[in-house]
């Protein structure tokens, strides 16, 4: 990709769119008491989780402490995420994608990946849905895109009355005359999102619906990024939400893209919502990952623009400097060799740590 084409995500992006765990009663005997039971509770604030071990001998004290802890958890407005992001799992997801080869829109390889996404989502107890759209505006003839998404809803919750937070990644790769496998661009973020799906599905929130959205057709059909030849899947998803009136409940969208760079430094996208970006920065600082947040502000055109157009606060998590002078981007060099399991771990831990704050943002 020449330098001119790079402008499709930077200067050529144009002006920013409108921004949118009881106790058991027991008798007191004259003999020594048995050791008091130990109760373990999780408290999760906006940036981290703490394990509090209670060694209390009197039931009433334990009851009061438990109530206080639950109130503290409730005050955060977030359900605890107890599991740990496993980079090994994410890396295997990435290897699976790359093994399929190029995965452009409409390809057999992309359909195989789509089935893989659905299988993995079902394996963690989710019910994936497909949404297919015909896109006649494509420059070389109509194309058909099919997104896959799954909503994480707490048992007993009325999903129709809860705010929605979208976590998304495109899973298609750009079509070239050479073997472009998109390990970083399309592959890395999809791998991370699949692992995040496992964690979020294990701890659904009673306060929000987490939508895990895998987008088709982000890449332009042309060599250059020229509207409307891009973001086919995200534009159609947002249009469908608007038609249903569902967009009013979408309080935030977090896009992941190009997060596997061995030298991971997230770009400060100027289109992204400043409040969401502050959550990202504060979280990174709180867990010692601030070195992975860039300093220079740039305009980055990505799937988040589709949500911003519907006045949905959005954040693009992307490292748009891939290789020396960005020479690995959209080239045959976008391979596993130039990606890092450690980078997947960084972005995974960062997002997991930020989830409570994103949830609190959506329920403010």
Q: What is the pLDDT of residues 224-272, one digit of tens each?
A: 999 999 999 999 999 999 999 999 999 999 999 999 999 999 999 999 9
Is a pLDDT exceeding 50 seen at residue 308? yes
CA distance 339 to 260: 5
Q: Rounded to the nearest 10 degrees, what angle do helices 341-362 and 87-99 cross at?
A: 110
Q: 150: which 2 tokens?
A: 């799954």
Distance between CA atoms of residues 230 and 248, nearest Å? 24
Query: Which residue, among 116, 144, 118, 143, has the nearest Cα to 129 in the 3D structure?
Result: 118
Nearest to 121 by CA among 76, 158, 167: 167
Q: pLDDT (tens digit, 9 = 90+) per residue, 141-191?
A: 999 999 999 999 999 999 999 999 999 999 999 999 999 999 999 999 999
DSSP string covering 140-160? TS-EEEEEEEEEE--TT--GG
Q: Residue 326, by phi and psi: left (phi above 0), alpha (psi -120 to 50) or beta?
A: left
Residues 6+ apart with CB under 8 A from 193: 167, 168, 169, 212, 214, 256
Among 213, 217, 224, 185, residue whose Cα is nearest residue 318: 185
Q: How far apart are CA 254 and CA 167, in angstroms?
A: 5
Q: 15 pLDDT exceeds 50?
A: no
CA distance 173 to 181: 7
Q: In the CATH hierarchy, which fold is given to the domain comprising 3-19+83-362?
A: Aminopeptidase (3.40.630)
Residue identified by tokens 């403010």 is: 364
- The answer to whether 194 touches 114, Cβ cutoff 8 Å, is no
Taking residue 265's Cβ as centre, other Cβ atoms within 10 Å add up to: 16
Q: In what order do the strands lie in the sheet with 250-257?
A: 129-135, 143-152, 209-215, 164-170, 250-257, 314-318
Report domain extents, the chain: 3-19+83-362
Main-chain dihedrals φ then ψ at residue 228, nearest 5 degrees? -95, 20
Out of 37-46, 79-88, 208-217, 249-258, least confident range: 37-46
More confident residue, 67 or 319: 319
Whether 196 and 351 have beta carbons less than 8 Å apart is answered as: yes
pLDDT at residue 43 greater than cutoff 80: no
Q: What whole-number distance in Å separates Cα of residue 206 and Cα of residue 77?
A: 9
Q: At what angle do helices 87-99 and 108-123 cross, to 10 degrees?
A: 150
Predicted pLDDT of residue 80: 54
- DSSP letter at 30 equals S
Is omega for the bond preceding 321 within 30 degrees of 0, making it cis? no
**DSSP bridge partners of 253:** 166, 314
3-state secondary structure of 268: strand
* % pLDDT > 70, the chain: 77
Residue 40: burial class (beta carbons within 10 Å; 0-12, 13-18, 19+): exposed
């Amino acid at each position: 990709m020449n330098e001119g084409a790079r402008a499709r995500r930077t200067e050529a992006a144009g002006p920013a769119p409108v921004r949118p765990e009881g106790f058991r009663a027991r008798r007191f005997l004259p003999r020594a008491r048995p050791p008091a039971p130990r109760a373990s509770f999780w408290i999760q604030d906006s940036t981290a989780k703490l394990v509090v071990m209670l060694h209390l001998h009197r039931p009433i004290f334990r009851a009061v402490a438990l109530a206080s802890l639950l109130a503290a958890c409730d005050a955060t407005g977030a359900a605890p995420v107890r599991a740990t992001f496993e980079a090994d799992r994410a890396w295997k997801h990435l290897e699976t994608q790359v093994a399929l080869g190029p995965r452009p829109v409409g390809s057999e390889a992309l359909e195989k990946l789509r089935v893989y996404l659905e299988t993995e989502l079902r394996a963690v107890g989710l019910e994936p849905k497909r949404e297919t759209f015909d896109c006649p505006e494509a420059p070389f003839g109509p194309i058909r895109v099919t997104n896959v998404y799954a909503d994480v809803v707490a048992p007993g919750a009325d999903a129709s009355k809860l705010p929605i937070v979208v976590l998304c990644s495109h899973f298609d790769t750009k079509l070239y005359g050479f073997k472009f496998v998109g390990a970083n661009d399309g592959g890395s973020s999809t791998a991370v999102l699949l692992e995040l799906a496992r964690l979020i599905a294990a701890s659904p929130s009673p306060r929000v619906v987490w939508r895990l959205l895998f987008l088709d057709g982000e890449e332009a059909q042309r060599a250059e990024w020229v509207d409307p030849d891009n973001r086919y899947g995200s534009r159609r998803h947002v249009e469908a939400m608007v038609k249903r009136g569902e967009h009013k409940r979408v309080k935030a969208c977090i896009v992941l893209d190009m997060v596997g760079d061995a030298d991971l430094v997230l770009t400060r996208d100027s289109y992204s919502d400043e409040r969401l970006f502050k959550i990202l920065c504060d979280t990174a600082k709180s867990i010692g990952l601030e070195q992975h947040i860039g300093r220079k502000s740039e305009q980055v055109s990505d799937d988040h623009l589709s949500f911003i157009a519907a006045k949905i606060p959005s954040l693009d998590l992307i490292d748009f400097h891939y290789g020396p002078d960005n020479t690995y981007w959209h080239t045959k060099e976008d391979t596993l060799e130039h990606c890092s399991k450690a980078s997947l771990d960084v972005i995974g831990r960062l997002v997991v740590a930020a989830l409570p704050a994103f949830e609190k943002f959506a329920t403010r």
